[in-house]
Amino acid sequence: MDSSTLQIIYLVILMIFLGVELIGHVPSVLHTPLMSGANAIHGVVIIGSIIVMGEATDMLSMILGFLAVILGTLNVVGGFVVTNRMLEMFRKKQ
């Protein structure tokens, strides 16, 4: 196992603990927006689709890549907009 793989494993373990720590004491009222916000964040997968699309050379890869970028964008844009709409509801009242 080379050292960069090892570093990634360290990072993964730290992030697991950080994720648990971040969510630990959230009131249940916020669970839905929180899930929605987390949903938007994993839209970061779009970066990967941009990279494969940018390196695609044949037709099939182009089509799949184009589709992947659209789906990833849906995840990102839809995720953040829906979360924002939900949270707007809370803001007005406080």
Partner 1 sequence: METILPILYLVASITFIVGLKMLGSPKTARQGNLIAAFGMVLAIAGTIFLYRGHSGEALHNVPFILAALVVGTGIGWMMAMKVKMTAMPQMVSFFNGMGGACAALISLMEYKATGGAPMGLGHGLATIAGLLIGSISFSGSIIAFGKLEERIKDIRFGGQQFINNAALLAALVIGGLIVAGQMSGFEIVVGLAVLSLIFGVLFVLPIGGADMPVVISLLNSFTGVAAACGGFLYGNMVMLIGGILVGSAGTLLTVVMCRAMNRSLLNVLIGNFQGSGATGAAAGATGTIREVSATDAAVLMAYAKQVVIVPGYGLAVAQAQHVCHQLEHELEAKGVTVKYAIHPVAGRMPGHMNVLLAEADVSYDKLVEMEEINPEFPNTDVVLVVGANDVVNPAAKTDPQSPIYGMPVLDVELSRQVIVMKRSMKAGYAGIDNDLFYRPNTSMLFGDAKTSLTSLVTEVKAL
As measured in angstroms, the least distance from the Cβ of 10 to partner 1 is: 11
6 binds partner 1 (CB under 8 A): no
Size of the site for partner 1 (CB under 8 A): 81
Q: Are residues 53 and 62 in contact, defined by beta-carbon separation less than 8 angstroms?
A: yes
Region at 58 (left for phi over 0; alpha for psi -120 to 50; beta for the rest): beta
35 binds partner 1 (CB under 8 A): yes
* CB 57, CB 87: distance < 8 Å: no
Size of the chain in residues = 94
As measured in angstroms, the least distance from the Cβ of 2 to partner 1 is 9
Residues in CB range of 34: below 8 A, 6 or more apart: 23, 26
Q: How far is the CB of 27 from partner 1 (least distance, A)?
A: 7
Binding of residue 94 to partner 1 (CB under 8 A): yes
3 binds partner 1 (CB under 8 A): no
Q: Is 88 in the site for partner 1 (CB under 8 A)?
A: yes
Minimum CB separation of residue 20 from partner 1 in Å reads 5
- Alpha carbon distance 79, 74 (integer Å): 8
